[in-house]
Amino acid sequence: MDFLSAIKSIAGEECIFCNEMMSDHTTFKVGGPAKYFVVPYRAEDIKKYILAAEEYKIPYYVIGNGSNLLVSDKGYDGMIIMLGRDLGNITVNGDMITAEAGTSLARLFNTARRHSLSGLEFAAGIPGTLGGACYMNAGAYGGEMKDVLTKVVTIDRQGNTHEYKQGEMELSYRNSIFIRKQEIILSAEMKLCKGDVEKMTHKVNELLEKRKEKQPLEYPSAGSTFKRPEGDFAGRLIEECGLKGKGINGAEVSEKHAGFIVNLGGSAADILALIALVQDKVYAKSGIRLEPEILVLGEE
């Protein structure tokens, strides 16, 4: 049996796509074909896909909404596992919410709000899934996932599941133990607190309006392109270099917020070239080497 036959046997042909364009699955709207692209319907199938990939020595990568990802124009010569809506079950028990990794952060907040639970307002406008948010310790407007997470369940490359409690996740700015160990997040548990629905709604509407006003949401991007350097802001350093509006073909440093690189019809290569140019210019002027916040997949 070859690898394609092996993964088809796991959950049926309707879950498997060959040469799937990654530009359809990332918020940057660029990226070439993934050789294999699978969409698990059940959490238990993830383990089977991983073990098949390990057996056949096929590289693989797990994505959610593709909101923090830049895929090469050449694509990915391996298997993409997309954790989507079919892995988006949510349960609420008192002030605790447990959800699968494919749950969108917007849906997670709306569920919390329906149960008068506060603590996820910061995440309502982040265009990602719970798995990616835990993996990167996503945050916005003063809140981070580490503020609410109490337990995360993962699977490693040998198919073993692990459970991490609050003090074991090594959550810091855009970092976690899950990145270090390269484990896949299956689900997470969060502890929230009772809140006033009207106040929660008002706060989220304020944050969404602020996001719309200050961020270039009208163009494809992957959110903030660079991590915040200690004691400073990437956007300020980039703007100080006069790079607002700087473009390479269809990639451009946003006129609205210099911390964002937007895609106006360019390629992954254009975006990567602009990232490198920004890094070099900022380093030359400030001595600070900006570190990309987005993840890059595939070879140019």
What is the rounded distance in angstroms from the CA atom of residue 193 to the CA atom of residue 165? 19
From 67, 113, 174, 189, active-site residue: 174
> What single string gives the DSSP state of each residue in 72-106?
-TT-EEEEEEE--GGG--EEEETTEEEEETT-BHH
Residue 174 annotated in active site: yes
- State how far the alpha carbon of 212 is from the alpha carbons of 202, 217, 222, in Å: 15, 6, 15
- State how far the alpha carbon of 42 is from the alpha carbons of 58, 105, 160, in Å: 21, 20, 16
Does residue 211 sit in helix, strand or coil?
A: helix
The total number of residues written for the chain in this structure: 300
From 20, 121, 189, 293, active-site residue: 293
| Cβ proximity of 293 and 226 under 8 Å | yes
Residue type for position 165: K
What percent of the chain is helix, strand and coil (3-state, nearest 5)?
A: 35, 25, 40
Strand partners, 172: 175
What is the rounded distance in angstroms from the CA atom of residue 219 to the CA atom of residue 261? 9
From 224, 252, 254, 267, active-site residue: 224
Residue 224 annotated in active site: yes
Q: Given the DSSP bridges, would you call strands 60-63 and 76-82 parallel, antiparallel or unpaired?
A: parallel
What is the rounded distance in angstroms from the CA atom of residue 234 to the CA atom of residue 279? 10
What is the rounded distance in angstroms from the CA atom of residue 186 to the CA atom of residue 190? 14
CB atoms closer than 10 angstroms to residue 203: 17
Catalytic residues: 174, 224, 293
